[in-house]
Amino acid sequence: MKLTQGKINELLTQSGCDHNHKKDGKGKNKSCKQQAQPGTAQGGCAFDGASIALVPITDAAHLVHGPIACAGNSWGSRGSLSSGSTTYKMGFTTDVSENDVIFGGEKRLYKAIKEVCDRYHPPAVFVYSTCVTALIGDDMDAVCAAATKKFNTPVIPVNSPGFVGSKNLGNRLGGESLLEYVVGSKEPEYTTPYDINLIGEYNIAGEMWNVTPIFEKLGIRVLAKITGDARYEEICHAHRAKVNVMICSKALINMATKMKDKYGIPYTEESFYGIDDMNRCLRNVAKLLGDADLQERVEKLIAEETAKLDIALAPYRERLKGKRVVLYTGGVKSWSIISAAKDLGIEVVATSTKKSTEEDKAKIKELLGKDGMTLEKGSPKELLSVIEKTRADMLIAGGRNQYTALKARIPFLDINQERHHPYAGYDGMIEMAKELDEALHSPIWAQLRKAAPWDAVETVTEKLVVNY
């Protein structure tokens, strides 16, 4: 896949981009104007986004063509789990040097691909370009094509150097590589009328394992997982699915739209967080599959699972009712977690709109109501101000914000990719309720909010002096 300005503009004008949600009027089909700024890489670059989207393919080898720091910067920082192969956990890199910058790194890349194929025999090798190798002009596509022919192993170029844009653009560039080189390259042994793909689900903390058994109970087969706990070959078969279930609209929306155009596969955007959203997901999938008997089975399963949850969540709802939280995350979680919190009686008083589409923002506004606050960018100072203003009891955010919560002396729950607890599906609701309850009612907070012994002594002394 050649990376051209036209390709970048095409990906930036996908329906998941903020500029393209107004069907009429100004802004429709307008290219995103946001450019990557040197020195402001917080939130991830395009290379980071591509690796996030593709590395969860567990049996493939993932080779970074660039300086060793690029591989070390992102490998192992996300909790995408595997039920089998762990090849994806190995951080392969060409480790280009100053000599490679001067004389070119193509020979080094070819040798690295050969070593990976000879030693590990993966079903495929994904090769990622970085800023350095893109700037020196290495023809990665040609090297990958030659290696594919020589080693009889698919070697897939992922042209996503960090300087081309944001992490979200990198997600889509990863999706373009799958569409061009992987999807449709093999045929499945058999198909069923109930085959679906999950797109944009990365199995963080094993969340997908809470969801796939539910589909299996209904007789729905997840043909391809793109890409959490995925195997290379199943993604090759993805073009034979009957429905695509899109989990995050800003990540791989280009895959859903292009598979609809090319293969006629309809897609629906869903969330696995919260009882209402999980129920809605099952109903929408059954509706798109167009089977009346399946729809009846869905309603029966929803009734059973809801009844179980009402019993399991009753003690947590009693303890969590009326608690106020600030939610600072991005994308689909910025609104889907609000729904899950409402199921537990928790009030979300503020949330972020970072990396949210216009549809996401509309859902946020509807769920929060007129008194809810939205944050576009949340510096520690701004978050502390919002926590104080809203009298929040808790901060739910990514791992780097935990110290902000500690400064405010309130509990914190990690909701982003570093977390270790799965919150998706019906079982995930119980896990989320448990984690929220333990965090909010930990005895440490009462102790932490007490005055320090020396401050208490000074206060008593001051009172004695005043009384005297």
pLDDT per position as a tens digit, 402-445? 888 888 889 999 887 778 889 999 999 999 999 999 999 998 88
User: Tens digits of per-residue pLDDT, 113-133?
Assistant: 999 999 999 999 999 999 999
Using N-to-C axis directions, what is the helix angle for 275-289 and 425-440, rounded to 10°? 170
Cα distances (Å, whole numbers) of residue 204 to 36, 181, 229, 257: 27, 25, 9, 24
465 has pLDDT over 60: no
Domains and CATH numbers, the chain: 5-181 (3.40.50.1980), 195-304 (3.40.50.12380), 313-448 (3.40.50.12380)
Instruction: For residues 95-102, give the mean pLDDT.
Output: 92
% of the chain exceeding 70 in pLDDT: 84
Sign of the four-CA dihedral 255, 259, 261, 265: negative
Q: Are strands 92-93 and 155-158 parallel, antiparallel or unpaired?
A: unpaired
252 has pLDDT over 50: yes
Neighbours of 280 (CB within 10 A): 16
331 has pLDDT over 60: yes
Nearest to 134 by CA among 288, 295, 8, 252: 8
394 has pLDDT over 60: yes
Q: What pLDDT does residue 209 have? A: 95
Flag the least confident range among 3-7, 90-94, 215-219.
3-7
Sign of the four-CA dihedral 163, 167, 172, 173: positive
User: Tens digits of per-residue pLDDT, 19-39?
Assistant: 444 444 455 444 444 454 544
**Distance from C-alpha of 256 to C-alpha of 263, rounded to nearest angstrom:** 10
Identify which of 27-31, 326-330, 434-438, 464-468 has the greatest average pLDDT: 434-438
179 has pLDDT over 60: yes
Neighbours of 293 (CB within 10 A): 9
Whole-number mean pLDDT of the chain?
A: 86
Q: What pLDDT does residue 283 have? A: 97
Q: What pLDDT does residue 31 have? A: 40
SS3 of the chain: the string is CCCCHHHHHHHHCCCCCHHHCCCCCCCCCCCCCCCCCCCCCCCCEHHHHHHHHHCCECCCEEEEECCHHHHHHHCCCCCECCCCCCHHHCCEECCCCHHHHHHCCHHHHHHHHHHHHHHHCCCCEEEEECHHHHHCCCCHHHHHHHHHHHHCCCEEEECCCHHHCEHHHHHHHHHHHHHHHCCCCCCCCCCCCCEEEEEEECCECCCHHHHHHHHHHCCCEEEEEEECCECHHHHHCHHHCCEEEECCHHHHHHHHHHHHHHHCCCEEECCCCCHHHHHHHHHHHHHHHCCHHHHHHHHHHHHHHHHHHHHHHHHHHHHHCCCEEEEECCCCHHHHHHHHHHHCCCEEEEEECCCCCHHHHHHHHHHHCCCCEEECCCCHHHHHHHHHHHCCCEEEECHHHHHHHHHHCCCEEECCCCCCCCCCHHHHHHHHHHHHHHHHCCCHHHHHCCCCHHHHHHHHHHHHHHHC
The residue with tokens 């679906």 is: 196
